[in-house]
């Protein structure tokens, strides 16, 4: 530490402004002398209440800022009065100190001193109050209250006339009144989780339901208004009851880490609704807390997890470690950028610029040990102290990059593979990023499941009549062995989905061929044009009875295909009852009825029938292990009679030949033998089940199908017929083996084998 810097931070009063010093604002500057700062310890990182020397209680503050010259911890009273105290010790890049009598509920931030030299990546600016990356809770002003972000939150002069040089001109105005503050949170007590029992649902039995904490609860009539949009709302019995009755085993929550709104959205009167703009990787997003934002959100989140666990439902978090809310060189200075920009972010050879593999302006430098530690500490915290059961990693390929290329032996993947906590939870990769070589579907190592967009595309294309043949569809329906049958991976490595938060809802998928994103304020330029959708003859909502009937049948076809495919199915909240976004396929900034689940749909007969069918399909999947195989099918005869565990048939009733796989067709039938299920139960006993014959017919005209006779089946009973307007759980028509039946156009027929 230089002597000048040392003199600057040990003064008790505000002193005269100087380069690198923060000029005090009225009523908000540093206070009179505060309590002494003891050396403390460099571990654990963050602000952790503990008992210090002599039994004195207080809080230990520790921050990695390897390139800094000095660090001040700044304490804030309720009226905004700020007290700055220097962290006196520097150990292996970590600044630390113990402040007696500082306890839970204290709001705080950091000011970090060092050189301002953007050309070498140094962007230290003590005028900017910085959020502790290890903050367990965040007390945040509502960003949407501003027309745009205040200029004070930028480390550079945002409105400098020559914008190409703006990021090089330091802004010395105080940001403290405008930025979030960390909150000291006590450690979890030993009895906090005594009554919690994790469901520990096996991967093969998992059905995922992707939902948004706010959007799922905002319009639910049985949730008290004060709890809507919150963790407490999701824990409410009315919300939990829907999940239990539906039969899903896990919720995948869109980002709940503390996030920030982008300036370009605020200027349009919008905000980041989805939350893929993380700021604090340890803190539950404060705006989703009903009980308060000075630490109460932590307990509320934990109570939500316990309520879901009690109902047998696991909690998976969609996490964003591939970029932060600080964006590129023209973005705000909120945390890591001011703590040690070059130490936390990947920079280009021109160190003013950021390596951007995400399209969001920056990428954390995961190869750096302290950055890797920050991410893995965060993950372990959410498992051990917040109770979650797994993670879905947004743009996971960006985390798997070593110095440039995606590397499946990268430090991040290696650390996860050996971590005794993380290797035991559910790990799901979004297996791509926007950089060169970023598309990595099928490439992640064992332990990992992946969002399988090839499943999504094949199923969408089949039902809109756009597949040239059925080769790809066959792989997708049976677990995608071409992608995942290596290194000991199982069918559950494939997370199958037809829709997700990003893109059309299921109802919109059969109602729109073009995106309608005008409300986003980007002249409909945002969002993908590759929707692989079909509007069934009319764009948007239609009063035509024939169009409406076809759309409902297509919805039944898509849901049946998804929920009876081998792999792990993922539903998007509201798809089970016809939620629509009006054709908006990129509703990331629509925090309104566009994105919220409309619970009134349950009262409309057509959508109530769709909901009932979804429940039936999930129950059918749960009841029959042949529909959720733990191993890939062999496709070979297992007995002298020639019966195979998986066989494929043409409409003519014969097994498919190589030529059939390459021939254009809109019909595919698969036979699943319940007698020859690969794998065994927990005691090593072979698993047996009913067999199923499933006919998928995407052609518009009816087709005559011959059902396989002996040895496949003596008879078949209809379990699901998507051509029927009214779906029923009663036993269906029985057809003898070898019978020729007519399958209506655009329908799925699920037949249970009867001996």
Catalytic sites, residue numbers: 394, 430
Question: Whole-angstrom Cα distance, residue 188 to residue 298?
Answer: 10
Residue pair 260/277 in contact (Cβ under 8 Å)? The answer is yes
Rg for the chain (alpha carbons), in Å? 28
Q: Please classify residue 598 by burial: count the beta carbons closer than 10 Å to its beta carbon, then call 0-12 exposed, 13-18 middle and 19+ buried.
A: middle
Question: Whole-angstrom Cα distance, residue 407 to residue 413?
Answer: 9
For tokens 């950089």, what's the residue? 435
Residue pair 437/405 in contact (Cβ under 8 Å)? The answer is yes
3-class DSSP assignment, residue 193: coil
- Phi, psi (rounded to 5 degrees) for 730: -70, 155
For tokens 């990268």, what's the residue? 410
Task: Give, in degrees to the nearest 5, the angle at Cα 715 between 709 and 718.
Answer: 120
Of the candidates 553, 691, 569, 572, the residue with the CA atom closest to the CA atom of residue 618: 569
For residue 96, what is the enclosing H or E element?
A: strand 94-100
In order of 531, 719, 729, 746, the CA distances from 559 in angstroms are 17, 15, 16, 13
Can you say how many angstroms the Cα of residue 524 is from the centroid of all Cα atoms in its chain?
25
Which residues contact residue 253 at a Cβ distance below 8 angstroms, ignoring those fewer than 6 apart?
211, 212, 213, 315, 316, 317, 318
Fill in the DSSP letter of residue 123: E
For residue 747, what is the enclosing H or E element?
A: strand 747-754
Question: Whole-angstrom Cα distance, residue 637 to residue 584?
Answer: 48
Structure-token pair, residue 10: 């040990």
Residue pair 565/670 in contact (Cβ under 8 Å)? The answer is no
Of the candidates 77, 86, 71, the residue with the CA atom closest to the CA atom of residue 12: 86
Residue pair 421/378 in contact (Cβ under 8 Å)? The answer is no
Question: Whole-angstrom Cα distance, residue 375 to residue 236?
Answer: 31
Residue pair 515/584 in contact (Cβ under 8 Å)? The answer is yes
Backbone φ/ψ region at 395: left (φ over 0), alpha (ψ -120 to 50), beta: left
Question: Whole-angstrom Cα distance, residue 34 to residue 39?
Answer: 16
Could you check whether the bond before residue 299 is cis, i.e. omega within 30 degrees of 0? Answer: no
Fill in the DSSP letter of residue 410: -
Could you check whether the bond before residue 11 is cis, i.e. omega within 30 degrees of 0? Answer: no
In order of 170, 263, 656, the CA distances from 19 in angstroms are 10, 27, 77
């Amino acid at each position: 530490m230089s002597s000048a810097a040392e003199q600057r931070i040990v003064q008790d009063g505000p002193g005269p402004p100087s380069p690198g010093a923060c000029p005090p604002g009225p009523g908000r500057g540093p206070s009179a002398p505060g309590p002494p700062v003891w050396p403390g310890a460099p571990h654990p990182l963050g602000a952790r209440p503990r008992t210090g020397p002599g039994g004195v209680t207080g809080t230990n503050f520790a921050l990695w800022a390897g390139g800094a010259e000095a660090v001040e911890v700044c304490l804030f009273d309720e009226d905004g009065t700020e007290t700055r105290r220097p962290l006196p010790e520097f150990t292996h890049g970590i600044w630390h100190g113990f402040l007696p009598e500082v306890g839970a509920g204290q709001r705080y931030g950091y000011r970090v001193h060092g050189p301002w030299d953007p050309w070498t990546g140094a962007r230290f600016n003590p005028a900017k109050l910085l959020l502790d990356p290890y903050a367990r809770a965040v007390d945040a002003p509502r960003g949407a209250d501003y027309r745009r972000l205040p200029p004070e939150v930028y480390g550079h002069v945002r409105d400098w006339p020559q914008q190409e040089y703006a990021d090089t001109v330091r802004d010395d105005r105080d940001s403290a009144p405008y930025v979030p503050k960390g909150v000291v949170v006590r450690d979890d007590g030993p009895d906090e989780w005594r009554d919690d029992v994790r469901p520990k649902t096996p991967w093969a039995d998992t059905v995922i339901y992707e939902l948004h904490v706010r959007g799922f609860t905002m319009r639910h009539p049985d949730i008290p208004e004060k709890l809507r949009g919150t963790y407490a709302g999701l824990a409410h019995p009315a919300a939990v009851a829907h999940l239990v009755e539906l039969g899903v085993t896990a919720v995948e929550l869109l980002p709940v880490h503390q996030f920030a709104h982008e300036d370009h959205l605020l200027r349009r009167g919008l905000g980041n609704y989805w939350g893929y703009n993380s700021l604090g990787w340890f803190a539950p997003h404060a705006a989703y807390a009903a009980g308060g934002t000075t630490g109460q959100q932590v307990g509320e989140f934990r109570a939500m997890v316990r309520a879901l666990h009690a109902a047998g439902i696991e909690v998976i978090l969609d996490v964003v470690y591939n970029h932060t809310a600080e964006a590129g060189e023209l973005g705000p200075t909120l945390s890591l950028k001011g703590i040690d920009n070059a130490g936390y972010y990947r920079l280009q050879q021109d160190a003013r610029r950021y390596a951007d593999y995400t399209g969001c302006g920056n990428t954390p430098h995961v190869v750096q040990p302290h950055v890797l530690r920050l991410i893995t500490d965060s993950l372990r915290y959410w498992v051990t102290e917040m109770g979650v059961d797994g993670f879905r990693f947004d743009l996971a390929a960006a985390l798997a990059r070593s110095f440039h290329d995606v590397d499946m032996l990268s430090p991040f993947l290696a650390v996860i593979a050996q971590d005794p906590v993380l290797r035991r939870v559910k790990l799901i990769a979004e297996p791509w990023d926007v950089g060169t070589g970023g598309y990595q579907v099928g490439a992640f190592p064992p332990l990992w499941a992946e969002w399988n967009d090839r499943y999504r595309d094949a199923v969408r294309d089949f039902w809109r009549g756009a597949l040239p043949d059925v080769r790809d569809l066959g792989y997708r329906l049976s677990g995608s062995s071409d992608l995942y049958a290596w290194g000991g991976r199982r069918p559950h490595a494939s997370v199958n989905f037809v829709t997700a938060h990003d893109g059309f809802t299921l109802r919109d998928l059969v109602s729109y061929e073009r995106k309608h994103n005008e409300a986003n304020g980007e002249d409909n330029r945002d969002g993908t044009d590759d929707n692989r959708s079909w509007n069934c003859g009319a764009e948007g909502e239609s009063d035509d009875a024939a169009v409406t009937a076809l759309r409902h049948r297509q919805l039944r076809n898509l849901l049946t295909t998804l929920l009876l495919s081998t792999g792990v199915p993922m539903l998007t909240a509201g798809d089970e009852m016809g939620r629509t976004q009006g054709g908006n396929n990129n509703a990331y900034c629509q925090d309104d009825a566009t994105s919220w689940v409309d619970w009134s749909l349950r009262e409309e007969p057509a959508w109530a029938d769709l909901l009932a069918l979804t429940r039936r399909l999930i129950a059918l999947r749960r009841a029959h292990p042949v529909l959720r195989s733990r191993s890939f099918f062999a496709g070979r005869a297992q007995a002298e009679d020639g019966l195979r565990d998986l066989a494929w048939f043409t409409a003519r009733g014969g097994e498919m030949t190589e030529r059939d796989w390459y021939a254009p067709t809109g019909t595919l039938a698969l036979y699943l033998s319940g007698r020859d299920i690969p794998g065994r139960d927990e005691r090593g006993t072979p698993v047996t089940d009913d067999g199923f014959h499933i006919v998928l017919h995407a052609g518009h005209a009816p087709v005559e199908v011959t059902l396989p006779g002996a040895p496949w089946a003596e008879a078949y009973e209809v379990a699901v017929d998507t051509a029927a307007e009214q779906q029923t759980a009663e036993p269906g028509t029985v057809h003898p083996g070898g019978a020729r039946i007519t399958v209506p156009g655009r329908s799925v027929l699920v037949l249970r084998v009867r001996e």
